[in-house]
Amino acid sequence: MNKGKAAIVGAGFVGASIAFSLMLDNALDEIVLIDIDKKKAYGEAADIAHGVEDTANADIYAGDFSDCRDCNIIIITAGRGRLPGESRIDLAEENIRIIRSVTDSLGRYYNGCPVLMISNPVDILTASAEHLLGQKEGIVFGSGCMLDSSRFKRCIARAAFPEDHKSQSECGRNINAFVIGEHGDAQIPLWNGVSICGKSADEYFAEHKILWNEVIRQSISNETKNMGASIIKAKGRTNYGIALCAARIARAVVSDEKFIASVSSTMGLGNEDIKASLSLPSVIGREGISSRISVDMSPCEKEIFEKSAEGMKGILRNSL
């Protein structure tokens, strides 16, 4: 039984890390790396292929856009990365031009499969790619706040299990929490939806007699928001965390898993020609995003969400 095929556009640190994660995940039969630097794509594909003979059996190779004609998912990582001190929005104009080039090159080879946007600013580029490819809502979507949600859970876990490193590492099983909205400074951690071991955060911390107040919540929110910048300051880039997220999404697509994650799409965010793309908990499967899960937002959270959408549409109108 065929498991599926993925193309990764962009063989830089992030694209290569995603290829490596996909290979180890063993959910695909075929992985093709596409890059304007063909030697780089070849080197990354060969390096991965030579090192995992006994742990995975996918065929990985360097190719071109014609190899996308039979893909189950296309993952776009092309674009300039964020430098220390830059915001993701600072990349918008330059990376929209790159995404336009990618969609033009994809052209007649595109078969309508889900397209996962990784490049930043991911929300703006997701909306751009959907517009340029002329696809319906949910086929093109971005990693969005999936990584932010994982960081959010990790921070909550340190507070909830202060001396239990095993439980901290299993936060995906013990903690349900989402970050929504913009993948950036205006992200929204949904505190009223946090549950720990099946109990609300307030109930859990009270029961275990662990200090829990607004100061701690704000500290966790800030740490979650600033985590990407702190990693870039420390090592120059982020690549492993997002690679694991991309591999998890790819597995959900090729297996039609109906996996839920806070990813970015235009679904339900208006009927204008130019639409914003923001993250909400979404059901991911073979056709991309099939539906989004409604969440309760406070008036303040809703205002931040809507302001992000309007700001994004302003950038897109000036760029597309």
Query: Exactly one of 50, 165, 183, 208 is catalytic; which is it?
Result: 183
Length of the chain: 320
Report the C-alpha gap between 175 and 188 in whole angstroms.
17
Question: If residue 279 lies in a helix (H) or strand (E), which one and from where to where?
Answer: strand 278-285
Distance of CA 297 to the CA centre of its chain: 22
Decide: 259 and 282 in contact? Cβ < 8 Å: no
Angle at Cα 98 formed by Cα 95 and Cα 102, nearest 5°? 135
Cis peptide before 121 (omega within 30 of 0): yes
Print the SS3 string covering 122-148.
HHHHHHHHHHHHCCCECCEEECCCHHH
Q: Which residues contact 86 (CB under 8 A, 6 or more apart)?
A: none
Residue 183 bears catalytic tag: yes
Query: Which residues are the active-site residues?
Result: 183
